[in-house]
Amino acid sequence: MFEKFGAVLVRQRKRVLALFILAVIVAGGVGSLVFARLSNGGYSDPKSDSSKVSVYLANTFHVKDPAIVLAVDAGKSVTDPTVVTNATALESAIRSEPGVTKTLSYWSTGGAPTLMSKDGNASYIFIYSTESDPSTATDLAKRIQAKYDGTKNGLRTYVGGYATFSFAISNRISKDLALAEAISIPATFILLAFVFGGLIASAMPLVVGLSAILGAFLALYLISLATGVSIFALNLVTGMGLGLGIDYSLLIVNRFREELHHGKSVAESVIKTVSTAGRTVFFSGVTVMITLSALMFFPQMFLKSFGYAGVTVVAMAVLGALIPLPAILALLGNRIDKLVVRRSAITPKEDGRWAQTARFVMRRPVAVVVLSFILLGTLAAPLKGIVFSQVDSRVLPASDKAALAAAVSLNKFPGQEGSPIEIIIPNGVGQDATIAKYLAALKQVPGVGGVGTPEASGSTLRLTAIPTISSRTPAAQTMIDNIRALSAPAGTLIGGVAADYADSQAGIARTLPWALGWIAIGTLLLLFMFTGSIILPIKAVILNVLSLGATLGALTWIFIDGHMNWLVGKFTLTGSLDTSMVILIAVVAFGLSMDYEVFLLSRIKEEHESGKSNIESVATGLQRSARIITAAAMLLAIVFAAFLTSGVTNIKTLGFGVAFAILLDATVVRAFLVPALMRLFGERNWWAPASLKRFTISH
């Protein structure tokens, strides 16, 4: 199939290239519309109890959360006449702003004590917007922050709240992404010229990368017409698009050169390249897509978005590598080696450093395996201290205005008035004794600072409790679990920010086994079909799990224990890792590891089927593919490591985690553990029951 496809590409190369250019223009034009449709939220489980509470609050009680929360510090009593005058004028000015429906404060409510700080010198001003979802009022938040954050008339105003945080994080991510690209793209293309050996060849990743990124933007735009897509997905699209463009281009171009140097014509070389390296790219891409599609299992739009982005960008990268790239190679022919930068990279060696490394490892396989496992175990050791949480204002730099506002709210006020615990009791009206007993128990739960007066609408009762702890933390999850463990009236639902956090964590935990099962079964089956072996797929999955354990251990040591700030840059130490980001890193790293596994095993299998012994096929396969894998891993690591310049902690985490996992996999795993284990298993590497052999793919 791939051989025939390659022949078609050679015959129709000019037409294929013209259609590709047209497709890129259309994808870029339409796909650019996606930026206006991206969302900042998506961390909630839409089927959870907390989501049901949100529906009750909106439809039954006509209540919504404030979009913006101002902490106004007067420096003296909020009842001081001068303070009252200035604060009232401030609140009146804010209330008259376009997009504001109403405001609430200590002063406008006639002295509500719950809106006053612990020292009596500050008050909240809650700002409600015309937006149905408070977190989407980012334009209003931007204007309010620019106009009112600061000191005026003796009042120090800190602007925070959902919309302000959404604006702050999306604004920083946009700027950080631009900075990361400004660093990684020039550095990458300088290294590409060195790795490919020539300027013409080094431009080939642009073909695949551009088609992958713009194609993914178009796909995400179409997806956004039907469902929400997170703004964070852009980071994965650009990182994976550039990275896979490099991976697949290296594999295709190197195989094309190899065939040319063996004396084949340009047409024969393209056809052979598509039938070998092209097939490898296809199955590698399918394996990565299966892995990344597991993110769609999770209930949160945030994680689903990465699944959409990952699958589409990989699919587009595969198409870019299999359609326009071979057509361009057919047109260029031997000119692919023009404008030489490093001649040794143009002519692959039949036997060299990587083959010698493989033979060295296979002479001492037990020692190499033991030492490698000790290294991976040492890196994974900090895992025992891992703690999970979710994104809150602390992911921003401590100097950010939104982060300062959140810190003031947490430190100066007795409770989190802007994010109460919401309790809905259907048919609760008339159960006075039961409700009174429940309220008494609720007040005793650690973390609950106070309970408001019950509010009724028809037969439904609404209760509010004010937490004294930050809502998106493990402590808040424990508090919600304790509240739900109370004896409560039938049908009681717990909602609010803390409950939303707890439900989101529970949703992830509930879905994780299914996602892991999908990844394991999918990759095992595909690798079996590709290699015809039972042993090799199982080995690949086990090694990837060990590599991921080492990566998560390194993340714990740095982002929880607070080491190596000199490398990753300053960030607010929260004592936890963002659950969603850890899952994303694990899935992306696993997918890319399988990408390299397919690269390596494909070449080893090809050499083995040509008649070489197990040892020689491993040595030759490593020689032919390890240089590509190492170069691709280094370049991809640079793309993701550029995210370390971000001021948002979880983007730093993504950058470090993926870069570290890629480099660890390309060195310790591919260069040492794989050849050592293949030596130990010998010819058993290729064993499978005869009855299953018919399901494998002939190479």
- Of 451, 469, 502, which marks where a domain is finished? 502
Is the domain of 109 the same as that of 14? no
Give the whole-angstrom CA distance, residue 288 versus residue 286: 5
Q: How many domains does the chain have?
A: 3
Are 159 and 141 contacting, i.e. CB atoms less than 8 angstroms apart? Answer: yes
In a domain, 415, yes or no: yes
- What does the pLDDT read at residue 29? 92
What is the residue-averaged pLDDT of the chain?
89
pLDDT score at 698: 63
Same domain for 413 and 285: no
313 and 250 in a single domain? The answer is: yes
217 and 334 housed in the same domain: yes
Instruction: Tell whether 225 and 301 lie within a shared domain.
Output: yes
Asked if residue 557 belongs to a domain, the reply is no
Tell me the pLDDT band of 339, cut-offs 50, 70 and 90. Answer: confident
Please give the pLDDT value at position 18: 93
pLDDT confidence of residue 616: 86
pLDDT in tens, 55-101: 898 889 888 888 899 999 999 999 999 999 999 999 999 999 999 99
Helix (H) / strand (E) containing 152: strand 150-152
Predicted local distance difference test score (pLDDT) of residue 346: 65
Q: Is the pLDDT of residue 415 over 70?
A: no
372 in a domain, yes or no?
no
Shared domain for 232 and 287, answered yes or no, is yes
Does 612 fall in a domain? no
Domain boundary at 328, 348, 368, which? Answer: 348
What is the β-pairing status of strands 122-129 and 460-467? unpaired
Q: What is the pLDDT of residues 139-190, one digit of tens each?
A: 899 999 999 999 999 999 999 988 898 888 888 877 887 888 788 878 887 8
Q: 126 by DSSP, 3-state: which?
A: strand
Q: With cut-offs at 50, 70 and 90, classify the pLDDT of residue 351.
A: low
Residues 71 and 33 in one domain: no
Position 95 in a domain: yes
Q: Is the pLDDT of residue 538 over 90?
A: yes
User: Domain check: are 339 and 461 in the same one?
Assistant: no
- Examine the domain organization and report whether 343 and 242 are in the same domain: yes
- Give the pLDDT band (50/70/90) at residue 426: very high
Q: Do 170 and 391 meet the contact criterion of CB atoms below 8 Å apart?
A: no
Residue 389 falls within a domain, yes or no?
A: no
- Indicate the pairing of strand 388-389 with strand 577-578: parallel
pLDDT of residue 524: 92
Structural domain containing residue 333: 1-37+197-348
CATH number at residue 127: 3.30.70.1320
Indicate whether 699 pLDDT > 70: no
Q: Does some domain include residue 312?
A: yes
User: In this predicted model, what pLDDT tens digit does every residue of 461-519 receive, in sequence order?
Assistant: 999 998 988 888 888 999 999 999 999 998 999 998 899 999 999 999 999 999 999 99
**pLDDT 10s digits, 561-593:** 999 888 888 888 888 899 989 999 999 999 988
**CATH code of the domain in which 432 resides:** 3.30.70
Considering the domain architecture, whether residues 215 and 340 belong to the same structural domain is answered as yes
Measured between alpha carbons, how far apart are the two ends of the chain, in Å?
11
On whether both 8 and 94 belong to a single domain, the answer is no
Q: Is the pLDDT of residue 1 over 90?
A: no
Task: Express each pLDDT in 116-133 by its tens digit.
Answer: 998 999 999 999 998 877
Q: Is residue 370 part of a domain?
A: no
CATH number at residue 5: 1.20.1640.10
148 and 232 both lie in a single domain: no
Mean pLDDT score, 277-305: 93
Q: Mark which of 438, 468, 502 sits at the end of a domain.
A: 502
Place of tokens 């891993």: 633
